[in-house]
Chains A and B, each alone.
Chain A
């Protein structure tokens, strides 16, 4: 069981991710934008962060860049959940410090497979 933070401004996507991961026995917290994610990460100690890219208040890429400056999150896997299949966005995410990505649309099985890949 891992402690996972799901970050997405879309409540339906967030609940889908959280529901699926909880079903697999993980402990999931939710945040609806990058700033809320940073706040949550300051309180909890996550093993994995799943973050959407396009969000109001603070986007996912800025959030990754910020969180990588914190000593306890330097090596924690962070996956970007994104519909942007174009390479620039992936590269931008990687440059900010993301571990990998999961391209939307994904189904619960794909989500679990990818999560297991990084938690493996």
Chain B
């Protein structure tokens, strides 16, 4: 029984296998598109090979058996015995999916082999020439026991044996472990000292082992030097004695109870792999911080005027290091968006094939980094947009040709930085949104009364309304009961926005703007009475002082003000949050123009204090969810400030208007 618990390596195995499967899928897709790089074939082979090796080592026999056959198939391709045909790519792509499922079953302690995996295994096996479905090595029939007294061995290594790192003395010690050993050395081939090469082997040996060891055990000592020496192994047989033909039954290992591990422990506790250079930077910065701290600690007993300059210098240094440390810590949570983009080549290929459309996927900016939490939640909305673009956006090849376009549509997925945000665009060069169809649908659904006078932008935005769907027939691709409203809500939950730009006949572009991180926001601090509120900078258009003559009261007690030829509602924060504002007249305070869900409103506050970064503390986790507030933060003086949820405030205003 080994003292080493192999379960401690399972998680690492699982994660590296998923990486391997991703690499395999990418290589297969590249091969599918006609790439002829032999390294791609190696990547696929290596993935199957590594997973098989690891699975066998760590006891996932079902996974090992499955990947064994996939590896054999890849080996045929690698060695040129089989062309990399479409059918092979297809089968291997499905195998990758199956192995992924099998691994996740294994990790939760469930049996990995399912009816589905068995069926695919049979398909794989059928493709691989001459491989049995169940690669179970038949137990070799036990050879009848021979009454062996000992072994005579003649061993003469070839002259180069020592260069392979093998050492006859070591082998003799191994033999000695089997029983009493007599060694006779034959030095007849030893040359004169002057001619001798110290690294060559000139000796030969005859060995006599006085033990009835098994042939396999004796020959096993020499297995590594097979072919590098002259070797004869002869048994000394004792006088034959009647041997009972009883064959001992192989001991049956007691079935170990299968331990079902807590699935949450495996899948929920996610980890981030961090490059060593990021860790080194962190350690360096902490070192700097310690130095600064010790420098500042000398002022514990007070500062005299001559030391002021030094104190100022120390504080500046502390500020710089804190900022760098913050950036450095944040960067640990940042991962390239390629981890999300990677799934799209496969998705696009499968969808295009299913719909008989021709699509080229153009991915850009894959190295753009995003916070891990944001990344994990942006996947589903992106998948939805991509499905929509292929299903509804891009036309059938004949339609495209009729419209004077190439028969192959382009789907562009692009990520880039803009200001303090990350922008992800999903753009197709398809038919664009059909204004008439959208208006008709929206009227039918009772979302609007008429489309007359609506800007194209406003019409486009209708598709984000709940319960909206323009597909004439709901396909199984995008019609999953999830509409664009869910996409918008998911993005907003991440503190982001979705915008749509469509040109009839030439395509549609969805632009998702996301914050770099959810943990820290850049905000404008504003005073409302005794309270301080923080308004996220990303939502702010600008701040203006409003003159009373640009304000109109409307029925129901609301106020509108004129901002760049548009009228927008004024929302008084002291009203919304029920705190005592000091200034009530519009020209006494200041209006912060913010935008949420494409709608602008003016937030009226007493005064602006300044701009600062705020570490977001969850209000839900510490208190409860409050409409209009997205979280709280601690200010420099230790007091708590609430962070305004612009989207929530816009919705509140819309409801109030409707009421």
Are A and B part of the same complex? yes
Using a CB–CB cutoff of 8 Å, the interface residues on chain A facing chain B are: 9-13, 15-16, 19-20, 23, 54-56, 68, 74-78, 83, 91, 94, 97-101, 104-109, 117-118, 120
Cα A76 to Cα B163 in complex, Å, equals 8
Residues of A within 8 A of B42 (CB): 56
| A15-B2 contact given A54-B45, A78-B165, CB 8 Å threshold | no
Is the CB–CB distance between B12 and A11 below 8 Å? yes
Is the CB–CB distance between B16 and A12 below 8 Å? yes
- A54 interface neighbour in B3, B50, B163, Cβ under 8 Å: B50
Residues of A within 8 A of B174 (CB): 117, 120
Is the CB–CB distance between B224 and A105 below 8 Å? no
- A106 interface neighbour in B12, B57, B166, B227, Cβ under 8 Å: B57
Residues of B within 8 A of A12 (CB): 9-10, 12-13, 16, 54, 58
Residues of A within 8 A of B170 (CB): 117-118, 120
* A83 nearest CB neighbor, chain B only: B53
A44 to chain B, nearest CB (A): 17
Is the CB–CB distance between A20 and B165 below 8 Å? no
Cα A68 to Cα B162 in complex, Å, equals 12
A1 to chain B, nearest CB (A): 18
Is the CB–CB distance between B164 and A97 below 8 Å? yes
Residues of A within 8 A of B162 (CB): 75
- A83 interface neighbour in B2, B8, B9, B49, Cβ under 8 Å: B49
Cα A100 to Cα B166 in complex, Å, equals 8
Is the CB–CB distance between B164 and A23 below 8 Å? no
* A110 nearest CB neighbor, chain B only: B2
Check: B173 CB closer than 8 A to any chain A CB.
yes
Residues of B within 8 A of A99 (CB): 164-166, 224
Using a CB–CB cutoff of 8 Å, the interface residues on chain B facing chain A are: 2-4, 6, 8-10, 12-13, 16, 42-43, 45-46, 49-50, 52-54, 56-58, 64, 162-166, 170, 173-174, 199, 223-224, 227-228
Cα A99 to Cα B162 in complex, Å, equals 9
- B163 interface neighbour in A91, A97, A106, Cβ under 8 Å: A97
Residues of A within 8 A of B165 (CB): 75-78, 97-99, 118
Residues of A within 8 A of B223 (CB): 100
Is the CB–CB distance between A94 and B57 below 8 Å? no
Residues of A within 8 A of B16 (CB): 10-12
| A13-B166 contact given A23-B3, A56-B46, CB 8 Å threshold | no
Is the CB–CB distance between B53 and A105 below 8 Å? yes
Is the CB–CB distance between A75 and B163 below 8 Å? yes
Is the CB–CB distance between A15 and B12 below 8 Å? yes
Residues of B within 8 A of A94 (CB): 164, 224, 227-228
Is the CB–CB distance between A75 and B199 below 8 Å? yes
Cα A112 to Cα B54 in complex, Å, equals 18
Cα A19 to Cα B4 in complex, Å, equals 8
Cα A107 to Cα B228 in complex, Å, equals 28
A40 to chain B, nearest CB (A): 15
A84 to chain B, nearest CB (A): 9
Residues of B within 8 A of A101 (CB): 224
Residue of B9, B43, B57, B223 contacting most chain A CB atoms (<10 Å): B57
- B56 interface neighbour in A68, A104, A108, A118, Cβ under 8 Å: A104
B170 to chain A, nearest CB (A): 5
Is the CB–CB distance between A13 and B57 below 8 Å? yes
Known: A10-B16, A100-B223. 16 other contacts (CB 8 A): A9-B46, A10-B13, A10-B50, A16-B6, A16-B57, A16-B58, A19-B9, A74-B199, A76-B165, A78-B165, A83-B49, A94-B224, A117-B170, A117-B174, A118-B165, A118-B170
* B49 nearest CB neighbor, chain A only: A54
* A104 nearest CB neighbor, chain B only: B53
Residues of B within 8 A of A76 (CB): 165
Listed from nearest, the 5 A-B pairs whose CB atoms lie closest are: A99-B165, A100-B224, A105-B56, A12-B13, A77-B165
Cα A105 to Cα B8 in complex, Å, equals 17
* A97 nearest CB neighbor, chain B only: B164
Residues of B within 8 A of A10 (CB): 13, 16, 50, 53-54
Is the CB–CB distance between B163 and A105 below 8 Å? no
Residues of B within 8 A of A100 (CB): 166, 223-224
* A78 nearest CB neighbor, chain B only: B165
B183 to chain A, nearest CB (A): 16
- B2 interface neighbour in A77, A78, A105, A108, Cβ under 8 Å: A108
Q: Pick 28 A–B contacts, CB within 8 A, sort by A.
A: A9-B50, A12-B10, A12-B58, A13-B50, A13-B54, A13-B57, A16-B4, A16-B6, A16-B58, A55-B46, A56-B42, A56-B43, A75-B163, A78-B165, A91-B227, A97-B165, A98-B164, A99-B164, A99-B165, A101-B224, A105-B56, A107-B2, A108-B4, A108-B6, A117-B170, A117-B174, A120-B170, A120-B173
B140 to chain A, nearest CB (A): 15
Is the CB–CB distance between B199 and A23 below 8 Å? no
A110 to chain B, nearest CB (A): 9
Residue of B162, B223, B224 contacting most chain A CB atoms (<10 Å): B224
A37 to chain B, nearest CB (A): 15
B474 to chain A, nearest CB (A): 44
* B6 nearest CB neighbor, chain A only: A16
Residues of B within 8 A of A105 (CB): 53, 56-57, 64
Residue of B9, B43, B53 contacting most chain A CB atoms (<10 Å): B53
Residues of A within 8 A of B164 (CB): 94, 97-99
Is the CB–CB distance between A109 and B2 below 8 Å? yes
Residue of A12, A94, A106, A108 contacting most chain B CB atoms (<10 Å): A12
Residues of A within 8 A of B13 (CB): 10, 12
Cα A83 to Cα B56 in complex, Å, equals 10
* B169 nearest CB neighbor, chain A only: A120
- B4 interface neighbour in A23, A91, A117, Cβ under 8 Å: A23
B160 to chain A, nearest CB (A): 9
Residues of B within 8 A of A118 (CB): 165, 170
Cα A83 to Cα B135 in complex, Å, equals 14
Residues of B within 8 A of A83 (CB): 49, 52-53, 56
Cα A76 to Cα B18 in complex, Å, equals 36
A18 to chain B, nearest CB (A): 10
Is the CB–CB distance between A16 and B53 below 8 Å? no
* B39 nearest CB neighbor, chain A only: A56
Cα A97 to Cα B162 in complex, Å, equals 10
B150 to chain A, nearest CB (A): 22
B472 to chain A, nearest CB (A): 49
B10 to chain A, nearest CB (A): 8
Is the CB–CB distance between B4 and A74 below 8 Å? no
Residues of A within 8 A of B163 (CB): 68, 74-75, 97
Cα A39 to Cα B8 in complex, Å, equals 29
B46 to chain A, nearest CB (A): 5
* A56 nearest CB neighbor, chain B only: B46
